[in-house]
């Protein structure tokens, strides 16, 4: 289009120069005016004078064609055309070189270079060197998309078919709640490991089932240890020497024998031999071949590694015990929810095998680090477990109460989150919905906090919002089920 107009301008300028040159020579060179009837009929107008002037730019050759007088926008190059590029195309009366739609008084017949759709006063059919207006539908649609989101209208039968429902945007105080999941763990403060500091062999296992409940002091295992047996004999020898030194009345001998007894007993104690075993040895003056290891605390046997006949070494774990009267739920807290979880906050824990029987607890600790893979941190919830219904390893759902917050709230299912923007459909009137861009805060229960975009009392689509968004996308290309209201 741009190239055609440039060619037209060059041709008109050349025509003006030719006319001026003819006037200077005193020669009259009238410009050919096409026959109105020919233009109306769509045919090629026949020139009345100077048949050599080709105004149409067609491909046909005309008799008497004068070189340099072709006015059309053909592909051929014309001599002398380059000389006209620098001319100032001032508006000459009778020559309309524009292309606008406005009406011009004094319009000269045959010289309309534009191509608007509107009629011009005094316009005489002539040389239309422009083109008609293009359809504006595409540009109008692009303007709507760039300037804002248009409303969408949905017919009643369509609303019923897709099940559109609306809810009111609320404003006020809302208690923040963090809903998460966790795993039941034993209270780490009650964990005990049963190990020995000497080597030997297991002769008898008194508690031989994992999960068994034991009481503090209850025998767990009997061990034969040559090392402990030799130390027992040293204690007995020291005791005998102490008795003899006492009879001699020599204070130095008494002190020396007493030191030997204390050293032998201390060696047994450092090996982890129970205090009751040592006291029995001193009283009975008899060596015990087997050492009985008791339970250090009451609880449940979590792991059992001891087996009769096995050899043990120092530091080997034989039993793991835990008191399950109190347990922990390690709840996973996402980074975005950390600000709403506080120490001492109330928490309600639910388990699948106890429907309708939530257990109340408190947040006693929040871990100071975040898992680099899951992007979560753990919050410890302490729970009483008097009946043992909470078992380590169970999955649990937790609801942690946070502080109250004032704001504007919208239902979760009323918001469409695309990743680039958040949209809600506001009901302008029945059947007409306005897509609105939102700025959201945190999640509080079943609602989003709205920082901007909505006000309290507005009605938003809470059901079938995704279908509306799909319909909006289709209507942006072609009219859909209800048409836009621009």
Q: pLDDT per residue over 438-453, tens digit each?
A: 999 877 778 888 999 9
If phi > 0 it is left, if psi is from -120 to 50 it is alpha, else beta; for residue 355 that is beta
Q: Which domain CATH number covers 429?
A: 2.40.420.20
Contact indicator for 287, 230 with CB cutoff of 8 Å: no
- Measured CA to CA in angstroms, residue 477 lies from 152, 372, 418, 472, 483 at distances of 13, 44, 20, 9, 11
Q: Is 360 inside any structural domain?
A: no
The DSSP element (H or E) to which 398 belongs, if any, is strand 395-411
464 & 423 share domain: yes
Q: What is the DSSP string of 161-205?
A: HHT-EEEE-EEEEEEEEEEEEEEEEE-GGG-EEEE-SS-EEEEEE
245 & 149 share domain: no
The two three-digit tokens of residue 307, written as one number = 């087996």
Q: Which of 133, 162, 182 is the last residue of a domain?
A: 133
Contact indicator for 170, 445 with CB cutoff of 8 Å: no
Residue 46: the pLDDT is: 42
Q: Which of 294, 311, 328 is the last residue of a domain?
A: 311
Q: What is the largest CA-CA distance in the chain?
A: 167
Is the pTM here over 0.95, yes or no? no
Q: Is 305 inside any structural domain?
A: yes
Whether pLDDT at 241 is above 70: yes
- Measured CA to CA in angstroms, residue 138 lies from 133, 150, 186 at distances of 13, 15, 67
Q: Which residue has the tokens 């380590």?
A: 392
158 & 278 share domain: no
162 & 267 share domain: no
Q: pLDDT per residue over 475-484, tens digit each? A: 666 554 444 4
Q: Is 262 inside any structural domain?
A: yes
The DSSP element (H or E) to which 474 belongs, if any, is helix 465-475
Q: Is 371 inside any structural domain?
A: no
Whether pLDDT at 415 is above 70: yes
Q: Which of 108, 133, 158 is the last residue of a domain?
A: 133
Burial class (CB in 10 A: 0-12, 13-18, 19+), 118: exposed
76 & 157 share domain: no
8 & 124 share domain: yes
Region 274-293 average pLDDT: 91
119 & 13 share domain: yes
Instruction: Write out the residue range of the structural domain in which residue 38 sits.
Output: 1-133
d(CA 109, CA 410): 67
44 & 76 share domain: yes
Q: pLDDT per residue over 126-139, tens digit each? A: 333 333 343 333 23
- Measured CA to CA in angstroms, residue 479 lies from 157, 290, 472, 474 at distances of 17, 93, 10, 8
Q: pLDDT per residue over 350-393, tens digit each? A: 998 888 789 999 999 999 999 999 999 999 999 999 888 899 99
Contact indicator for 338, 250 with CB cutoff of 8 Å: no
213 & 249 share domain: yes
Per-residue confidence band for 247, with pLDDT thresholds at 50, 70 and 90? confident
Give the chain's domain count. 3
30 & 110 share domain: yes
The C-alpha angle with vertex 289 and arms to 283 and 295, in degrees rounded to 5, equals 80
Residue 246: the pLDDT is: 83
Residue 452, φ and ψ in degrees, nearest 5: -160, 155
Percent with pLDDT over 70 in the chain: 67
Sign of CA dihedral 168, 171, 173, 178: positive
25 & 109 share domain: yes
Q: Is 455 inside any structural domain?
A: yes
Q: Is 185 inside any structural domain?
A: no
Q: Is 91 inside any structural domain?
A: yes
The two three-digit tokens of residue 346, written as one number = 């109330």
Contact indicator for 394, 351 with CB cutoff of 8 Å: yes
Q: Is 234 inside any structural domain?
A: yes
236 & 306 share domain: yes
Average pLDDT, rounded, for the chain: 75
d(CA 225, CA 222): 10
């Amino acid at each position: 289009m741009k190239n055609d107009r440039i060619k037209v301008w060059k041709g008109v300028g050349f025509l003006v120069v030719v006319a001026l040159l003819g006037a200077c020579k005193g020669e009259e060179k009238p410009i050919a005016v096409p026959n109105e009837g020919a233009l109306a009929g769509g045919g090629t107008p026949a020139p009345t004078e100077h048949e050599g002037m080709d105004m149409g730019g067609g491909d046909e050759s005309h008799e008497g064609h004068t070189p340099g007088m072709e006015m059309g926008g053909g592909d051929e190059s014309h001599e002398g055309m380059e000389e006209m590029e620098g001319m100032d195309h001032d508006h000459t009366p009778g020559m309309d070189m524009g292309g606008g739609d406005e009406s011009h008084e004094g319009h000269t017949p045959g010289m309309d270079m534009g191509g608007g759709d509107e009629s011009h006063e005094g316009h005489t059919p002539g040389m239309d060197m422009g083109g008609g207006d293009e359809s504006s539908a595409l540009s109008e649609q692009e303007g709507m998309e760039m300037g804002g989101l248009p409303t969408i209208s949905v017919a009643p039968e369509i609303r019923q078919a897709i099940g559109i429902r609306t809810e009111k945007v609320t404003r006020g105080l809302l208690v923040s709640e963090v809903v998460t999941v966790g795993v039941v763990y034993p209270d780490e403060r009650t964990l005990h490991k049963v190990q020995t500091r000497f080597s030997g062999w297991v002769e008898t296992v008194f508690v031989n089932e994992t999960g068994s409940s034991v009481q503090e002091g209850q025998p767990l295992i009997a061990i034969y240890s040559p090392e402990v047996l030799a130390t027992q004999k040293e204690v007995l020898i020291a005791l005998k020497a102490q008795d003899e030194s006492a009879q001699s009345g020599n204070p130095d001998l008494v002190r020396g024998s007493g030191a030997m007894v204390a050293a032998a007993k201390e060696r047994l104690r450092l090996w982890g031999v129970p205090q009751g075993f040592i006291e029995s040895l001193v009283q009975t003056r008899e060596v015990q071949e087997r050492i009985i290891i008791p339970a250090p605390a009451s609880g449940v046997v979590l792991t059992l590694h001891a087996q009769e006949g096995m050899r043990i070494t120092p530091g080997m774990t034989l039993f793991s015990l835990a008191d399950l009267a109190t347990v922990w739920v390690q709840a996973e807290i996402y980074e975005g929810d950390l600000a709403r979880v506080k120490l001492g906050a109330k928490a309600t824990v639910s388990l699948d095998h106890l429907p309708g029987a939530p257990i109340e607890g408190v947040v006693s600790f929040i871990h100071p680090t975040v898992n680099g893979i899951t992007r979560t941190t753990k919050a410890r919830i302490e729970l009483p477990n008097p009946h043992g219904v909470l078992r380590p390893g169970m999955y649990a759902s937790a609801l942690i109460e946070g502080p109250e917050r004032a704001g504007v709230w919208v239902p979760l299912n009323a918001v469409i989150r695309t990743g680039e923007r958040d949209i809600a459909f506001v009901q302008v009137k029945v059947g007409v919905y306005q897509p609105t861009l939102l700025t959201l805060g945190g999640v509080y229960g079943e609602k989003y906090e709205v920082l901007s975009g909505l006000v309290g009392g507005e009605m938003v689509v809470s059901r079938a919002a995704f279908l509306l968004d799909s319909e909006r996308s289709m209507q942006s290309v072609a009219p859909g089920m209800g048409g836009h209201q621009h």
